[in-house]
Amino acid sequence: MRTHDYCIILAGGQGRRLWPVSRAQHPKQFIDFFGVGRTLLQLTFDRLSRFIPLQNIYVSTFTDYVPLVKNQLPELQDAQILAEPAQLSTAPAAAWASWYISQRDPEACIVASPADQFITNEAAFEQELSQGLDYVREHPQFLAMSVKASTPNTAYGYLQKGKSIDEKRFMRKSFTEKPPIEFAKTFVSSGEFLWNTGLFLWHVQTMASYVPQLLPGIGISAVEFSEEEAQLALQRYYPAAEYNSIDAVLLDRDWPTVVQECSFGWRDVGSWPVMKEVHETDADGNATVGGAGVIFQGTRQTLVHLPQGIGAVIRGLDGYVVALEGNMLMITPTDEPAHTRQLANTAQLRLGQEFG
């Protein structure tokens, strides 16, 4: 293992697109959606720890979730869990983590990874990310890891390949986040577009000059901060940062970002339709997650998520999600993934905070 390779697992979100199973107090990254005894966060840690030294793995998470991280990843020291004082999406979190790591290793090369990915070829994942780390070590550019767009999925972001740099890397020509279905079909049929995986790589010195844009008040300085000084700066400046994702920052702005086409199998399991894609289905396209058992009658293309020990009979549905967790049941068409967050907000507003 190379001592200057690091990773940041971004695990501070609420996962509202997987409500009602993912809740504000116990979001998706801390849930075992595959029945394997490991949560999404733990699976991400397992995958990255194959080639990143344990002491160089950091988790950035909302301060309320720190106890959950400590419980699920006891291998980490307290200093490896970066507590976000406000939930401002991934751009401020990635900038702060990069700055924090740079104070300890000015030659660090970083993988920033979401905590909710499904990877089918972990050997290819290790090889291609290691190659990416080698690239950013020698080039003052951000690297966006992408995979071939194979279906017109409207839940993903689409990167258009520009001028070729080498066999695997391209300049970024355009980026479209969550396009309408007709656009997505055109993108896939053209063969020019890749899915944005949300995996980004950079050298800390490449990110250094951009940190003040994402965290005003955190300047470029060669002076080392003590742990106490770093925490005071975090509490002072972080809550005032702009809400933004690292994806939007690196792919929408005129920052030096290169695209690498990868071959590892990938899905972002951040919504119910994609969750269905990564589970086994019956002859009618139905899938179940958890529960004691589900009987389908006259039902197609439907996903059912139940707590352990709960059974169900589902009849006459076509293309739905049925999800029960605790005090909340949701039944909604699968072709409306963006509406799940709205349904969660509505339930919280009309029924009370404990239902959201």
Distance of CA 167 to the CA centre of its chain: 27
Residue 264 neighbours by CB under 8 Å, 6+ apart: 119, 120, 121, 122, 124, 125, 128, 147
Q: What are phi and psi of 120, to 5 degrees?
A: -95, -25
Res. 316: pLDDT tops 60: yes
pLDDT in tens, 238-248: 999 999 999 99
**How far apart are alpha carbons 259 and 168 in whole angstroms?**
8
Which residues sit opposite 202 in a β-bridge?
110
Q: Where are the domains of the chain?
A: 5-268, 272-355
Residue 328 dihedral angles phi and psi, to the nearest 5°? -135, 130
Residue 37 burial by CB count (10 A; 0-12/13-18/19+): exposed, middle or buried? exposed
Mean pLDDT of the chain: 92
Cα angle 9, 44, 116 (rounded to 5 degrees) comes to 80
How many other CB atoms sit within 10 Å of the CB of residue 28? 26
pLDDT at 222: 46
Q: What is the pLDDT of residue 337?
A: 65
CATH number of 5-268: 3.90.550.10
pLDDT digits (tens, 9 = 90+) for 192-233: 999 999 999 999 999 998 999 999 887 655 456 777 888 888
For every residue of 180-193, which 3-state class applies, written as one string? Answer: CHHHHHHHHHHCCE
